[in-house]
A = this chain, B = another copy of it.
Amino acid sequence: MATIYQVSELAGVSLATVSRVINNTVPVREATRLKVEAAMQELGYRPNSVAQSLASNRSNSIGIVVSELGGPFYGELLSRIENEFRAAGKHVIIAAGHSNADLERDSIEFLRSRNCDALILHVEAVHDAYLVELAESGLPFVLINRMVAGIEERCITLDNEQGGYLATEYMLQQGHRDIAYISGPLWKHDAQERYNGHQKALAKFAVCENKALFYEGDFQETGGVNGFNHLREQGHAFTALVCGNDEMASGAITAAHEAGLDIPEQVAVIGFDNINFSHYTHPKLTTIDYPVAEIGQMAARWVLKRVYQRPIEDLQALFIPQLIVRDST
Contact = CB atoms under 8 A, between A and B. Distances in A.
Interface string A261-282: 0000000000000001101111
Given A74-B75, A257-B282, A93 B96 contact: no
A86 B75 contact: no
B78 A69 contact: yes
7 contacts: A70-B76, A75-B75, A82-B96, A83-B96, A92-B93, A92-B94, A254-B282
User: Which of A50, A53, A95 gathers the greatest number of chain B CB atoms within 10 Å?
Assistant: A50
Contacts of A91: 93, 95, 110-111, 114
A69 B79 contact: yes
A151 B117 CA distance: 37
Nearest to A263: B282
A322 interface: no
Interface string A164-190: 000000000000000000000000000
Interface stretch (A41-49, A141-149, A155-163, A228-236): A41-49
A221 B276 CA distance: 10
Given A70-B72, A281-B282, 10 more contacts: A68-B79, A70-B276, A86-B96, A91-B95, A94-B94, A250-B277, A253-B282, A254-B282, A277-B277, A277-B280
A194 to B, nearest CB: 21
A110 B93 contact: no
A12 interface: no
Interface string A94-126: 111000000000000011111100000000000
How many chain copies? 2
B276 A254 contact: no
Interface of A: 46-51, 53-54, 59, 61, 68-72, 74-76, 78-79, 82-83, 86, 91-96, 110-115, 221, 250, 253-254, 257, 276-277, 279-282
B72 A72 contact: yes
Contacts of A94: 78, 82, 92, 94
B86 A79 contact: no
A69 B94 CA distance: 11
A35 to B, nearest CB: 23
B70 A96 contact: no
A261 to B, nearest CB: 13
Contact of A95 (B47, B59, B82, B114): B82
Contacts of A59: 50
Contacts of A50: 50, 53-54, 59, 115
